[in-house]
């Protein structure tokens, strides 16, 4: 099977250092395997999005030497596929409508497959997946063997929100299968989402890709860099400094004389081994 990787940014801000790490890391893994690298814009959460940021991210990537091997998938165009997956789960009685408020659920209450609130007159419900008492394990390409009790950790998680938007977990799983992704390389902040995604893949009869979670980039005070807080944006008009910092973050060699992003990436790729990536779960961004 051809290796197929992807980078799947949410358009909540401009490309920043943390997302450049995920983009470069996933690109290097795909190129090293002689595979393809695809892009997906995860624009399914309009309230969190920043106008213009999808365009800005897509325009920035080629400036860093990162070009996708196929058309970009926009999740905002994929409603019919999420509807179909949702109907499939509904037909199999794997989801239930839920009117519980956040307050109702404070204290880590188990729903055990049923809503505890009265159906609100005229109020739309959220839809939750029925999660049994199940251990989900996987062998992460970098972080090693993982095991999570899904019921204790995630519980009956929401797959369709009150506002009608599908949750990231559902959209991600449907689209990783749609794009034929064989390995997901992304930041370690999503490590604990992976068992939810594997469980959803099983519910929907979709294949499970391999997973590799890169160390999470932290700011000087130990917090995750985040696009929405405009942390560490990278400048596509002067790509070399941020690209050098990204390669250093991933413990990759930096060609001192490289005057172009493609040359820096090619040099790093020559010596690249996924096993040589830093095995820590997080580290400070330079
Ligand atoms: N859209 C997510 C983000 O920007 C990444 C999702 C993924 O790689 O699975 O954090």
pLDDT score for 226: 66
Same domain, 72 and 183: yes
What burial letters (b/e) apply to 220-259, b meaning 16+ CB within 10 Å? Answer: eeeebbbbeeebbbbebeebbebbbbbbebbebeebeebe
Residue 285 has pLDDT above 90, yes or no: no
Q: Which of 127, 160, 193 is the last residue of a domain?
A: 160
Question: Domain of 257?
Answer: 4-77+179-284
User: CATH number, domain at 58?
Assistant: 3.40.50.620
- Determine the longest span between alpha carbons in the chain, in angstroms: 67
Q: Which two tokens stand for residue 142?
A: 């970098």
Element (H, E) at 218: strand 216-218
Same domain, 27 and 72: yes
C-alpha 21 to ligand 1 mean position (Å): 12
Q: Which of 126, 160, 194 is the last residue of a domain?
A: 160
63-85 pLDDT, tens digit each: 999 999 999 999 999 999 999 99
Same domain, 16 and 29: yes
224-272 pLDDT, tens digit each: 876 555 567 799 999 999 999 999 999 999 998 889 999 999 999 999 9
Same domain, 71 and 202: yes
Q: Is residue 171 part of a domain?
A: no
9 CA: nearest ligand 1 atom: 4
Same domain, 106 and 60: no
Average pLDDT over residues 37-61: 96
Same domain, 135 and 277: no
Residue 179 has pLDDT above 90, yes or no: yes
The structure's pTM equals: 0.95
Same domain, 101 and 54: no
Residue closest to 86 by CA, chosen among 195, 190, 167, 197: 167
Give, rounded to a whole angstrom, the gap between the first and last alpha carbons of the chain: 37
- Three-state SS annotation for 59-90: HHHHHCCCCCCCCCEEHHHCHHHHHHHHHHHH
Residues 58 and 8 sit within 8 Å (Cβ to Cβ): no
Q: What is the tally of structural domains in the chain? A: 2
Which residue of 190, 195, 212, 216 sits with most ligand 1 atoms within 8 Å of its CB, as the best mutation to test the pocket? Answer: 190
Which residue of 8, 45, 224, 227 sits with most ligand 1 atoms within 8 Å of its CB, as the best mutation to test the pocket? Answer: 8
- Residue ranges around ligand 1 (CB below 6 Å): 8-10, 42, 172, 186, 190
Same domain, 102 and 236: no
Which residue of 10, 45, 184 sits with most ligand 1 atoms within 8 Å of its CB, as the best mutation to test the pocket? Answer: 10
22 CA: nearest ligand 1 atom: 8
């Amino acid at each position: 099977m051809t290796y197929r990787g992807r980078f799947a940014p949410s358009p909540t801000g401009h490309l920043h250092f943390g997302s450049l790490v995920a983009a470069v890391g996933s690109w290097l893994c795909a190129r090293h395997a002689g595979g393809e690298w695809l892009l997906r814009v995860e624009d399914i959460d309009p309230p969190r999005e920043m106008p213009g940021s999808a365009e800005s991210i897509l325009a920035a990537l080629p400036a860093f030497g990162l070009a996708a091997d196929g058309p970009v998938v926009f999740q905002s165009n994929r409603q019919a596929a999420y509807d179909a997956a949702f109907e499939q789960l509904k037909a199999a009685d794997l989801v239930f409508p839920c009117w519980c408020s956040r307050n109702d659920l404070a204290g880590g209450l188990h729903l055990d497959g049923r809503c505890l609130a009265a159906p609100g007159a005229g109020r739309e419900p959220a839809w939750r997946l029925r999660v049994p008492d199940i251990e989900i394990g996987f062998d992460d390409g970098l972080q090693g063997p993982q095991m999570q009790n899904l019921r204790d950790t995630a519980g009956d998680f929401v797959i369709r929100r009150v506002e009608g938007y599908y949750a990231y977990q559902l959209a991600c799983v449907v689209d990783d299968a749609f794009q034929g992704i064989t390995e997901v390389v992304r930041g370690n902040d999503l490590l604990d989402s992976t068992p939810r995604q594997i469980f959803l893949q099983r519910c929907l009869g979709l294949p499970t890709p391999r997973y590799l979670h890169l160390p999470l980039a932290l700011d000087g005070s130990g917090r995750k860099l985040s696009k929405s807080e405009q942390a560490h944006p990278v400048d596509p008009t002067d790509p070399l400094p941020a690209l050098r910092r990204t390669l250093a973050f991933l413990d990759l060699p930096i060609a001192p004389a490289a005057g172009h992003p493609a040359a820096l990436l090619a040099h790093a790729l020559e010596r690249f081994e996924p096993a040589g990536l830093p095995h820590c779960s997080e580290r400070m961004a330079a």
